[in-house]
Every structure is written in C-alpha cells, then in structure tokens.
Amino acid sequence: MAWSTAAPAVSAAFLAALVEIVEAFTIVLAVATLRGWRPAVLGTIGGLAVLACIVLILGPLLGHIPLATLQLAIGILLLLFGMGWLRKASLRAAGIISLHDEDAIFAAEAAELSEQARRQQRNLQWVAGITALKAVLLEGLEVVFIVIAVGAGRGLLLPASLGALAACAAVLVVGAFVHRPLSRVPENTLKFGVGIMLSAFGVFWTGEGLGIAWPGQDWALLLFASLFLGAGVIGSTLARKLVVGFA
Amino acid sequence: MTMLKELVAELIGMFLGEKRLTVTILVLVAVTGVLVDFIGLDELVGGAVLLFGCPILLIESVCRAARRGAS
C-alpha cells in the first residue's frame, strides 16, 4: 500500500476521531466525577459495544455495494459532513458563533446530573451510566462514519480504523494523566483541518463515483485540500469584515 | 425510545446541518453528473465544476451566515 494513498485516510481518521473523542471524554469524566467511575466505565463499554454491533452489521454490507455507487454515496455524504464542519469552523474563527468550550460543557453536564439527582433519588447510577453511554454512542457514530468514509472507497478500512484507535488511545492516556476536561486541545483548528480533509475526500470520491478520473490520482487530494483551505480562510476573513462593517 | 430519537436526530444533523448549503451541494453534484454522464462534456470540465463549485458554495454560505448574524 502506497504511503500517499494511506496517509490522508489515516490522518483524517486520527484528527476527526481526536475531536469527537475529546467531546465524549468530557461527558464521561463529568459522570465519573459526580457519580464514580463504575457507571462511567460501564456506560462507555455499553456505548462501545453498541458501536461494535453497528460496525459488525453494516461493515459486511459495504462489500455488496458496487464500487462506483459506494464512492458516489460516500463522496456526497463526505461533502455534506466536511463542508458543514468547515463552515462552522470558519464562522467560529470569525467570531460569529462561540468556540466549543470543554470546561463549559463539563460544568453543564455536571449541573444536569446534579439536577437529575435532586429530581429523582433512585437509579442515579443508571442515569449516569446512560449519560456516558449516550455520549460515547453519539460521538462514536461520527467516528465510525468518518472511518468508513475515508477508508471504504480504496480498501483502507484497517489503516483508517488504526488512525481512529490511536486517537482514542491518545485521549485516554492524556485524560488519565491530567484528569480534567481537555480544554486546551485546539478544537476549532482541528475541526477546520478535518473539515478541509473530509471536503477534499468528498470531491475526490464524488468525482470518481461519477466516472471522473482525477489527474495525479491520490496527489489530487493535496490540490483539493489547498482549495478548501483557501475557501475556509477567505470565508472567515470576509465574514469578520462583514460583521465589523455592520457594527 | 428517547435515545433512539436522539440517535436519529444526531445522524440527520451530521449531514443536514445547514439546509441551504445541503441543497446547493446536492444540486451541484447533480449538475456535475448531468454534464458528465448525460451531456457528455469532458469529464475534467465536469470535475472542475464540482471542484471549484464547492469552495464557492462554502464561501457564500459563511458570508450569508455572517450577514444574518450581524443584522
């Protein structure tokens, strides 16, 4: 397998998984801090088990879909998902919408759990476990999609999965060490970068699905990524000027 | 049941976050498909429509959101 083929898929899966797992980690940590590690760990294991079932059920089905159809479908979904991330990251960079704040999310989740404790004294462990499960499941679904999206078109599911697993391990190691929300992770910069990569993959797969043979093959991704980088920067700069102009 | 609803909402939200951007991307892909597969335009011209169309749609969407947010 060529490095130029695997590297974009592995790095996109790693960075995207890093963003999502940091978000899930914040909520699991809030559960563990307020209700102990037992419901947090059980909820996390439950969420991972449901995700594994989804992958085991849907994974083999991918092999039955014609390659061009798979590339087109995944390409369109990547365009919608990646450009959505890039749009949001550009607006955050321009100060139009507020930055994602892990400390604030941790505080909100802790307050929600305390409120639930006041409302119902029974089943607190259950509620905490479900909260952790939901966080892992919802954020994990996005990771599963991204791994499939960047890996399935060229038989790169394994390297992409390894990229996502490496991100998971990195967050767990750092999280266990600092034992607080990972608020210093430059989330918007990561989202900006991942949005660029996913959008570039989206154009690539959509084009291939429509029968377009891109010149330079995988190297074309670099050109696509630089175009989306330029678009994100221009969009963000123009948005900032528009806001200043209105003020 | 509530969790299932949240899961479905999350899945839909993943791809259909901003309706107008979603629709314009889908229209652009459809136009590219028509140009390449039905009209028989050179595939690289079709590819260029898709490649340059997407960043233009992105910039337009960001600027529109900024105008909406500022007004």
Classify residue A67: in a domain, yes or no. yes
Residues within 8 A of B (CB atoms), A 88-107 only: 88, 90-91, 94, 96-97
Classify residue A149: in a domain, yes or no. yes
Classify residue A46: in a domain, yes or no. yes
Out of A76, A77, A83, closest to residue B21 by CB: A83
What average pLDDT does chain A have? 84
pTM of the model: 0.82
Classify residue A247: in a domain, yes or no. no
Average pLDDT over residues A131-143: 87
**Chain A positions in Cβ-Cβ contact with residue B7 (cut-off 8 Å):** 137-138, 141
Phi, psi of A158 (to 5 degrees): -65, -50
Classify residue A213: in a domain, yes or no. yes
What is the C-alpha separation between A109 and A28, in angstroms, rounded? 9
Confidence band (pLDDT; 50, 70, 90) for B71?
low
Q: Is the pLDDT of residue A1 over 60?
A: no
Phi-psi bin for A155: left (phi > 0), alpha (psi -120 to 50), beta?
left
CA distance between the termini of chain B: 40
Q: Is the pLDDT of residue B13 over 80?
A: no
Q: Is the pLDDT of residue B36 over 80?
A: yes
Classify residue A230: in a domain, yes or no. yes
Q: What residues does each domain of chain B span? A: 17-70
**What tokens does B5 get?**
């609803």
Q: Is the pLDDT of residue B23 over 90?
A: yes
**Chain B positions in Cβ-Cβ contact with residue A89 (cut-off 8 Å):** none
What average pLDDT does chain B have? 87
Classify residue A1: in a domain, yes or no. no
Classify residue A176: in a domain, yes or no. yes
**Chain B positions in Cβ-Cβ contact with residue A238 (cut-off 8 Å):** 59, 62-63, 66
Domain hosting residue A228, numbered range: 7-240
| Per-residue pLDDT at A246 | 66
The tally of domains found in chain A comes to 1
From A158's Cα to the closest Cα of chain B, the distance in A is 23
